[in-house]
Amino acid sequence: MVPLTVMVVAWIVFRILGVAGGMAVVDSWTEALRFALATMFVFTAASHFIPRTRNDLVRMVPPGLPVPGLLIAATGVLELAGAIGLLLSGVVRIAAYGLIALLVAMFPANVHAARMQLPIAGQPAMPLITRLPLQFFWIGALWWVAHDAL
């Protein structure tokens, strides 16, 4: 739930900055969401490299997939690249679609973590009944940003 909190707080802050005139680029809810999603994906990308969470993420990789540590590093880099792409008006659509694909590709790791009740940063993995709607929410938010992109 921490990534959701990061995204929602960032969304509100960016929207307030847009309304107050402090940041003209976030002059709509969609633009504020674009920046909030970028903030969230920077946050989640960082977790792929921080020792406290990295080992938990490596354990989330379903058995049978090769080189879990490399997969976690690669997905972290892709999340960071997607976050940067969301901030660049010329590639927002590509970045949003890429992040949607990444969320879909990484979902089996969330299923594995929930079924095995693996801890993530000292907290139990999110139950699938919560995680699946959250995945759909993020996919919908990225879709909205992609379709409203310049």
Residue 118 phi/psi, 5-degree rounding, is: -80, 140
CA-closest candidate to residue 150, choices 83, 82, 93: 93
pLDDT at residue number 89: 87
pLDDT band at 150 (very low <50, low <70, confident <90, very high): low
To the question of pTM greater than 0.85 for the whole model, the response is: yes
Average pLDDT value over all residues in the chain: 93
Q: What is the pLDDT of residues 115-148, one digit of tens each?
A: 999 998 888 889 999 999 999 999 999 999 999 8
Provide the residue type at 3 as one letter: P
pLDDT at residue number 127: 92
